Structure 1
Amino acid sequence: MQQTQNGEKPIPINSVCEQKNNKKNAKSSKKPEKIEIPAISPSSLGSAEFRKDYCIKYAYLAGGMYRGIASKELVIALANAGLMGFLGTGGRSLNDIEQDIICIQDALKEDQAYGVNLVANLDSPDSEIALIELYLHYSIRCIEAAAFIRITPALVLYRLQGIYKDQHGAVRTKNKVIAKLSRPEVANQFLSPAPMHLVQQLFALGKITPEQVELSQSIFMCDDICVEADSGGHTDRGQPAVLLPAIQTLRDQKVLEHDFAHKPRVGLGGGIGTPNSAAAAFVMGADFILTGSINQCTVEAGTSDLVKHMLQDINVQDTDYAPAGDMFESGAKVQVLKKGVFFAARANKLYQLYQQYDSLHSLPEKIQTQLQDKYFNASFEDVWTQTKQYLLNSNRSQDIERAEHDEKYKMARVFRWYFAQSMKLAFTGSEHARVNFQVHTGPALGAFNQWVKGTELEPWQNRHVDQIAEKLMQDTAALLSKQTQQLITLSHVAG
């Protein structure tokens, strides 16, 4: 070893590093001091104002699922537990919806929370108006507006009924709208006052008063927004970590722009089936969460026992995307069950054929035979006869006339029949027809199934919507408490 100029031997670099490491190890060997923090409770998650406004104990909603899968029993069970669910109304008759509303109102007290779903009906705006007038007749105070791409007269009519000024002069409304959406341009419309041309249209029809016209520009079109990430059923395949912050930022901008009395809350739905996913939503600042797929595999869900048996065993990879039957020509997608069924593959095949050919007659004979024998189990003529009857019953004779003159449109109507039929088969639960079941669901249910595997909640017969909500919120709070405790302890040690 070389000597320095003063004759001293230099200290090897390795020795210096070793001394530092020894000191560091000695310091780190001390047991971290645990900083105790109060446990996070499920009732503290999300927006306190949201819970207060809807008179619910948790910032937790259950969304309205198609054709009454979100049944009256589901809505009543959640209300009795101090929570809120939405009655599923899409694809159902006015009479059936009315009977469910009567049943719900007979079963619940006035201060118990519930809502009713309103699905956009692009084909029949008059049906939207009829449904809203039914809701107004029964004093439904909250709707979940789903699948809207623009504000419609029906939404404006509902929003403006019961609008008033409070004792401080602030404009309020009795009818609450929670807009379920996945696109910023749609959120922008709900975070704006009612379009004035629609307001004037309703006034001209005598459906709203001059005072309602005047106050219409002083409120947003929604009370709250549920950002819908990739979900079961209709989906834009949105990513929650991208969508939620974007809509939150837009909300803040619109609040500053308008300075209205009410600030809409922004929650998150789609993909929520475990405490981890719920915790992620609340950490990102969601004011509430909304569940869907996990509720369709419960005792209260309005679908067949066979479907529930099929759903209780799926994993996160057991779903696929297919064309949406109600928006078939546009190519809109729904997320559906893939495991054990052929629906997704067959539905996508029908859409490919629709794009490639101009009529049923132009299809190759082999494909015509395949569709009629395996997909439809009926001839094209029989399917068209049933479709015509449906359109007549729906007062849509103009669609029949169009189909008689437009072969491609007629093909679309015949193909649409398969989507309606596959949904009916799933509801009836016919074993011999299970390969054609159309079951709207998302991977959140697969994650839920893995979470509860080996517990009493593994069989669907033990799953109740209110118990699932309670367990999910309790375990989410416990998870957040644990993670917060670890972060604070590590931060203290590092400091």
Structure 2
Amino acid sequence: MGGWRPKAAPAAFAPDDIAHILQYVRHPVHVVREEATGQLGLAMGGELVSAGAAEVSLVGTLPPMYPEWLGDRQFSEAHGIRFPYVAGAMANGIATPALVVTMAEAGMLGFFGAAGLSYANVERGLAEIEARLAGRTGLAWGANLIHSPNEVSLESRVAELFIARDVRIVEASAFMKLTPAVVHYALSGLTTDPAGAIIRKNHVMAKVSRPEIARMFMEPAPAALVSALEASGKLTAREAELSRHVPVAEDVTVEADSGGHTDNRPLPALFSEIVLLRDKLKQQHGRNYRVRVGAAGGLSTPQSLAGAFAMGAAYVLTGSINQACVESALSPRARGMLAKAKATDVMMAPAADMFEMGVKLQVLKHGSMFGPRARKLYEWYAGSPNLGAVVNEHGAELEKILGKRVDEVWAETHQYWGERDPAVLELATRDPKYQMALVFRWYLGKSSRWAIDGDPDRVLDYQIWCGPSMGAFNSWVAGSYLEHCEHRNVDQVALNLLEGAAQITRAQQARACGVPVPARAFHYSPRRLFL
């Protein structure tokens, strides 16, 4: 292939010199061989000469490795972002408008945590984001639509709000089936360009942890659902017709072992399974079929991001680590608890939104008794016919968990649902077991709010969603400026993860070429980065 001759710095063959060159990911790097010894090394700059005209021969050249290029560039182009990086929605407004705006300004995508909020608070959150980004074009952002089997009308109203407010991308999470709300949002505004290609106005990014759920989003919406939406006037005949030719979601996020709702699946196995499914569906639907697959769950270090991109992830999505950032709605006390977490400081506990179904989510157990107490409540619910039976047998322990008398909790619960959805109270009147569930869900719902508000009297009851990735992140940033919560800005966390992933990817490229890359080249330490 010819030779290489230095103009300034010589070729690097020593481990320290090789590691040094590998830091310069934005420059092309030459893989070279020393003629006298046959040893492989790296070189930058210099000039390429004919074979035999230099003491160092050229083996190959590694192109620049920009963090922007790690994922699928079609993903970034489709959503108007610079980096293939997403900050996922954290419910109850923990993913704040400030977090969403910060991500948008950094050329990334952030989702507002609309799940668990009242309709009015969702509306306020959207208005705040719109106001802060007013007059600025090319900044992408989205919001969360969560499957709400206990509040079907709220799910529909929120989806309609997103359509009315021109929220162009929605993260759909916790769905166990397709609902009219998510299909309505996905298909609203479908049209074609002059060449006949289908153009989407609204984009769904579906977060899934099971292949059967992924399939629902990767295929066109069921005809019966589409027909019902058309009959109700929510879709036009043209939108209904075009829906037969597009998947419900063109972006599917494979969610592995994560904080909050999770099936605790390992990312390599789950990602491979869903990519294979996507490829089979592409064969069925033809060359115009397009679904990008991203990765989430357990992503909190440069190594984990590099691994996800190496598997073929179109983009990466982070969650737990963003809760400890200053833009998060969590209280400083709760963020501090996350910053001390180890990978083993997590457990599964009942979820407030799907309590009766036995659905669980992953939470922080270090410094909080929420997990064991929530499990106890579900144990009583599953084994008792009504609230009175629990009070008779476990009254003192129940009120210790609740922190109030049971009748006081029911009074608060009654007032809450009377304002939010009176139909819930009607059902509770007819079904004593459902009334018990509402009382127990009071604790599960309040525990998240106590963590957000930083209630000093309920620290042991803080419900903080957290996966093992939080502990890995804390280990990585130990001793760096990101160790302390007050320095954890969501954009700086993202930029450091991407920069580190690019460096590790470059190191692996060199190693694959036979260069003796030292182990330290695969380690990246956080630092302040600027766009």
Q: Distance in 1 between matches of 2:387 and 2:441?
A: 13
> Is the 8 Å Cα contact of residues 257 and 265 (structure 2) preserved in structure 1?
yes
1:395 aligns with 2:421: yes
Which residue number corresponds to residue 110 of structure 2? Answer: 85
Q: Distance in 2 between matches of 1:164 and 1:262?
A: 16
C-alpha distance 129-68 of structure 1, shift in aligned 2 (>3 A): same
Question: Aligned match of 2:357 in 317, 324, 330?
Answer: 330
Which residue number corresponds to residue 211 of structure 1? Answer: 238
Q: Distance in 2 between matches of 1:96 and 1:53?
A: 29
Question: Aligned match of 1:196 in 223, 232, 251?
Answer: 223
C-alpha distance 31-347 of structure 1, shift in aligned 2 (>3 A): farther
Q: Distance in 2 between matches of 1:465 and 1:159?
A: 28
Which residue number corresponds to residue 67 of structure 1? Answer: 92
Q: Distance in 1 between matches of 2:287 and 2:412?
A: 50
Which residue number corresponds to residue 152 of structure 2? Answer: 125
> Is the 8 Å Cα contact of residues 391 and 398 (structure 2) preserved in structure 1?
no
Shift of 1:404: 2.4
Q: Distance in 2 between matches of 1:298 and 1:284?
A: 28
Matched position secondary structure for 2:362: strand
Matched position secondary structure for 1:225: strand
Deviation digits for residues 36-80 of structure 1 (CA, Å, limit 9, x no counterpart): 633522111010111111111111111000111110000101111
Matched position secondary structure for 2:354: helix
Q: Which has the larger radius of gyration?
A: 1
Q: How many pairs are equivalent?
A: 462
Q: Distance in 1 between matches of 2:291 and 2:82?
A: 19
Deviation digits for residues 98-124 of structure 1 (CA, Å, limit 9, x no counterpart): 122122122222311111111111112
Deviation digits for residues 206-265 of structure 1 (CA, Å, limit 9, x no counterpart): 122111122121111001100000110111111111110111111111122112634110
**Superposed counterparts of 1:414-425, under 5 Å:** 414-425=439-450
Q: Which amino acid counterpart does residue 431 of structure 1 have in structure 2? A: P
> Is the 8 Å Cα contact of residues 144 and 170 (structure 2) preserved in structure 1?
yes
Q: Distance in 2 between matches of 1:364 and 1:419?
A: 18
Which residue number corresponds to residue 353 of structure 1? Answer: 380
Q: Distance in 2 between matches of 1:206 and 1:224?
A: 27
Shift of 1:205: 1.4
Q: Which runs of 5+ in 2 are unaligned?
A: 1-35, 42-58, 518-531
> Is the 8 Å Cα contact of residues 172 and 219 (structure 1) preserved in structure 2?
no
Which residue number corresponds to residue 431 of structure 1? Answer: 456
> Is the 8 Å Cα contact of residues 39 and 478 (structure 1) preserved in structure 2?
no
C-alpha distance 93-481 of structure 1, shift in aligned 2 (>3 A): same
Q: Which amino acid counterpart does residue 130 of structure 1 have in structure 2? A: R
> Is the 8 Å Cα contact of residues 170 and 203 (structure 2) preserved in structure 1?
yes
Question: Aligned match of 1:478 in 484, 489, 503?
Answer: 503
Which residue number corresponds to residue 442 of structure 1? Answer: 467
Q: Distance in 2 between matches of 1:85 and 1:233?
A: 17
Shift of 1:402: 2.7
Matched position secondary structure for 1:334: strand
> Is the 8 Å Cα contact of residues 208 and 214 (structure 2) preserved in structure 1?
yes
Moved more, 205-214 or 80-89: 205-214
Shift of 1:365: 4.4
C-alpha distance 261-172 of structure 1, shift in aligned 2 (>3 A): farther
Q: Which amino acid counterpart does residue 445 of structure 2 have in structure 1? A: A
Question: Aligned match of 1:410 in 410, 435, 460?
Answer: 435
Matched position secondary structure for 2:314: coil
Which residue number corresponds to residue 302 of structure 1? Answer: 329
**If the length of structure 2 is used for normalisation, what is the TM-score?**
0.84
Which residue number corresponds to residue 487 of structure 2? Answer: 462
Moved more, 196-205 or 272-281: 196-205
Matched position secondary structure for 1:408: helix
Q: Distance in 1 between matches of 2:435 and 2:339?
A: 38
Deviation digits for residues 452-485 of structure 1 (CA, Å, limit 9, x no counterpart): 1111111110010111111100011001111221
Higher helix share: 1
Q: Which amino acid counterpart does residue 103 of structure 1 have in structure 2? A: E
Q: Distance in 2 between matches of 1:282 and 1:312?
A: 26
Q: Distance in 1 between matches of 2:373 and 2:442?
A: 13
> Is the 8 Å Cα contact of residues 119 and 154 (structure 2) preserved in structure 1?
no
CA RMSD of aligned residues (A): 1.7
Matched position secondary structure for 1:267: strand
Matched position secondary structure for 1:479: helix
1:187 aligns with 2:214: yes
1:252 aligns with 2:259: no
Q: Distance in 1 between matches of 2:170 and 2:505?
A: 31
| Large movers: runs of 4+ above 3 Å | none
Matched position secondary structure for 2:482: coil
Shift of 1:312: 1.0
**Superposed counterparts of 1:148-187, under 5 Å:** 148-187=175-214
Deviation digits for residues 360-414 of structure 1 (CA, Å, limit 9, x no counterpart): 2223746211111x211112211112112222112232x3233223222221111
> Is the 8 Å Cα contact of residues 330 and 452 (structure 2) preserved in structure 1?
yes
Shift of 1:193: 1.0
> Is the 8 Å Cα contact of residues 219 and 260 (structure 1) preserved in structure 2?
no
Matched position secondary structure for 1:362: helix
Q: Distance in 2 between matches of 1:183 and 1:438?
A: 25
> Is the 8 Å Cα contact of residues 171 and 261 (structure 1) preserved in structure 2?
no
